[in-house]
Amino acid sequence: MRSLTLTGSSVLLLTGCFTYRSLDSVDTAMPAPGTKVEVRLTTSAAASLANEIGPDVLYLRGDALSADSAALTLAIREAETARHISTEWKGERLTLPREDIASLSQRKLSVGATALVGGLAGGGLVVAATAFSASSSSTGSSGVRPPGGVQ
């Protein structure tokens, strides 16, 4: 039972909670290849790219493939509309000129949220395991004699 508790806690802690944090400036931000980023498009870019990425798409999430002073190339994993409707993508490449990007954020581990969720989940597993082991160890004589007087 103890190994189950440790395994469950480890899995929960490894999953982690993530958030997107803004990078300093759209014009100077150079995320390294493989960095998970979120791009918020300008309104004009969203309108002009509607045939490529879909109507009303405002956010693109994916992996940065390359970045220079003129453009950012992404492998898109998700597109989200202004109404917060998400669509999964399979890593399709898209190059965005810097002037089409309203803001740029990088995915980061949220240490506080991960610790809180992991602690609560781990604590819940420990309580459940303790309750289960206590109820299974309290099997004893009930004081009732079987028929015929044989015990």
Q: What's the confidence (pLDDT) of residue 21? A: 73
Per CATH, domain 18-109 is 3.40.50? no
pLDDT digits (tens, 9 = 90+) for 43-59: 999 999 999 999 999 99
pLDDT digits (tens, 9 = 90+) for 66-120: 999 899 999 999 999 999 999 999 999 999 999 999 999 987 765 555 555 555 5
Q: Are 5 and 126 within 8 A, CB to CB?
A: yes
d(CA 38, CA 36): 7
Residue 89: partners with Cβ closer than 8 Å, 6 or more residues away: 62, 76, 77, 78, 79
Count of residues making up the chain: 151
Residue 25 has pLDDT above 70, yes or no: no
Q: What's the confidence (pLDDT) of residue 100? A: 96
Residue type, 80: E
Q: What's the confidence (pLDDT) of residue 26? A: 60
pTM exceeding the 0.85 threshold for the entire prediction: no
d(CA 105, CA 51): 24
Q: What's the average model confidence in pLDDT over 24-52?
A: 87
d(CA 84, CA 56): 10
Domain residue ranges of the chain, discontinuous segments joined by +: 18-109
- Strand 57-67 and strand 36-41: the pairing is antiparallel
Tell me if residue 69 falls in helix, strand or coil.
Answer: coil
Q: What's the confidence (pLDDT) of residue 22? A: 73
pLDDT digits (tens, 9 = 90+) for 120-137: 555 665 666 666 666 655
DSSP state of 56: T
Q: What are 65's two structure tokens?
A: 């493939």
Residue 24: partners with Cβ closer than 8 Å, 6 or more residues away: none
